[in-house]
Amino acid sequence: MTNNYDKSNIATMEMIYGEGYLSAGGDREIAKLFSGVDVAGKSVLDVGCGLGGAAVTLARDLDAGHVHGIDIDQGVLSRAEELVSKNNIGDRVTLCHVPPGPFPFPDEHFDLVHLTAVACHFDELAPLFGDIYRVLKPGGMLVGRDWLKLGDNAEFRSWDELLRARGLNFYFVDERQFSRTLEGSGFTGISFVDRTREIAGLAMQSVQAVKSELRDSLVAVLGDAGYGDCLNWAEIRAQALTRGGIGQSQFSAIRQNGAPTR
């Protein structure tokens, strides 16, 4: 299965999360994620670049030398191309539609790899992390955020079942498994920062916005039934975050000075 977004999905996401984003936080979250990381002049691979918000922020605000954004969904890439053009940074951002599988780049090609809310779509993390390791230069860094399973409670199961009922492919693991797979792929300097409380706060803000100032706009795009589904989605996710079902952590890892793990 693949998670494809049509125009109404994209419009809805941008209403809730801001221009260029499919998840909460926007430009501020990208800036926070890369706080303390030397981005200026660096070559960056943005895996699962979505609507292009992170790629634009990395180039426009954090002065990346070049950002190469890739995604398997042409629909979101078309919207990302509009955002890149709007910000006049087409000379420093390249967007590419790629099929699932190994990245179409040579070994040791990028200084940084960005990965936010992408690993959770993979039923096996080792091939993904192994290929990220391969395309990073020795000493290069992986930086990202992702959803992690905190506990097999009612809130987690409600969220997981909702996703699967909609045909979406999510495979949540806990921090221990995530970290072990990074280590097994050859990464060192692995670190995590729990962001669940902040992301839960953003999720609750989204629920309130969907109920109030965004309601009429969402109904116009989705219709009454679609709006009801959107609100239900937002409420169940917020409950899973606030009641210990799912969490979100930012992470970083460094490619050691050695051959990729095969």
In a domain, 157, yes or no: no
Q: Which residues pair with 148 in a beta bridge?
A: 247
User: Quick one: pLDDT band at residue 152, thresholds 50, 70, 90?
Assistant: confident
User: Quick one: pLDDT band at residue 45, thresholds 50, 70, 90?
Assistant: very high
CA–CA gap between residue 161 and residue 168 (Å, rounded): 10
Per residue in 59-74, pLDDT tens? Answer: 999 999 999 999 999 9
Q: Which two tokens stand for residue 93?
A: 């951002």
Q: Which two tokens stand for residue 124?
A: 């096996």
Residue labelled with tokens 């990965």: 115
In a domain, 62, yes or no: yes
Q: Which two tokens stand for residue 188?
A: 């060192």
Q: 135 vs 23, which has greater pLDDT?
A: 135
- Predicted local confidence at residue 71, as pLDDT: 95
- Predicted local confidence at residue 6, as pLDDT: 78
- Predicted local confidence at residue 169, as pLDDT: 81
Q: Which residues pair with 192 in a beta bridge?
A: 251
Residue 1 scores a pLDDT above 70: no
Q: Which two tokens stand for residue 136?
A: 């990073």
CA–CA gap between residue 240 and residue 246 (Å, rounded): 6
Average pLDDT value for the chain? 92
Q: Yes or no: say if 245 and 237 are a contact pair by the CB < 8 Å rule.
A: no
Residue 105 scores a pLDDT above 50: yes
In a domain, 241, yes or no: no
Segment 227-244 shows an average pLDDT of: 90
Q: How far is CA 243 from CA 149, 177, 196, in A?
A: 12, 21, 11
In a domain, 93, yes or no: yes
- Predicted local confidence at residue 42, as pLDDT: 98
Per residue in 179-208, pLDDT tens? Answer: 999 999 999 999 999 999 999 999 999 999
Q: Among candidates 88, 84, 9, 87, which has minimal Cα distance to 49?
A: 84
In a domain, 69, yes or no: yes
Question: What's the number of domains the chain is made of?
Answer: 1
* CATH of residue 130: 3.40.50.150
Q: Which residues pair with 136 in a beta bridge?
A: 110
User: Quick one: pLDDT band at residue 160, thresholds 50, 70, 90?
Assistant: confident
Q: 12 vs 92, which has greater pLDDT?
A: 92
Q: 164 vs 76, which has greater pLDDT?
A: 76
Which residue range is the domain that position 81 belongs to? 7-148+168-196+248-255
- Predicted local confidence at residue 4, as pLDDT: 62
In a domain, 2, yes or no: no
In the chain, % of residues over pLDDT 70: 97
In a domain, 237, yes or no: no
Residue 23 scores a pLDDT above 80: yes
In a domain, 40, yes or no: yes
- The sheet carrying 93-97 orders its strands as 93-97, 66-71, 43-47, 110-116, 136-149, 246-255, 187-194
CA–CA gap between residue 49 and residue 58 (Å, rounded): 11
Segment 107-129 shows an average pLDDT of: 95
- Predicted local confidence at residue 258, as pLDDT: 60
